Amino acid sequence: MKRQAPGGGPMTKGAFSTEAVEEASDGATDGPDGAQLRRRLGKADLRAVPEARRALRELLRHWGKPGGAETAELLTSELVTNALIHTDDDAVLTATIGPRGLRVEVRDFVARRPRLCVPDADDGTHGRGLVLVQSLADAWGVRSHGVGKAVWFELNGGAV
């Protein structure tokens, strides 16, 4: 998968309400024939969440085991929402289908790393996104970039 830093945007500070996530290995799933979705997400534009889900659903029409696409949509919406709510800049969504499965990455331009936490029952729906990613993804992690970071997950979708 080609990773390109979109131009522009000063480095800003963001906050996640979760505990440190260790850097995980980069088990890229893309191959030369892999299908790919790439979307730039506008600053704080939460309309991008359902749009990202629809685009991913189209990409995954014939992919993986039953329920795999729905899980991918859920986890993608969590990462996209986190990037848009907890940063003050654009983000980039990349989803790639390869021989080893699906890899979804949401890159933002804030260096602060997310932290995993146990959600508080009194806190509505906040604090559950990374717990869902950790619970449902086959692999996930955070990778630092020169400006910002990428939070990613992988689903094997029944790939061998």
Residue 38 has pLDDT above 80, yes or no: yes
Domain boundaries, the chain: 36-156
CA distance 4 to 106: 12
User: Taking residues 119-147, what's their average pLDDT?
Assistant: 81
In this prediction, residue 26 carries a pLDDT of: 34
Helices 68-85 and 129-136: crossing angle in degrees, nearest 10, is 150
What would the two tokens of residue 152 be? 């990613």
> Per the confidence metrics, is the pTM higher than 0.85?
no
Rounded Cα distance, 126 and 92, in Å: 22
**Could you say which of 3.90.1170.50, 1.10.3720.10, 3.40.50.300, 3.30.565.10 is the CATH number of the domain covering 36-156?**
3.30.565.10
pLDDT tens, 55-112? 999 999 888 777 889 999 999 999 999 999 888 889 999 999 998 899 999 999 988 8
- The answer to whether residue 25 scores a pLDDT higher than 50 is no
Whether the CA torsion 74, 68, 141, 21 is positive or negative: it is positive
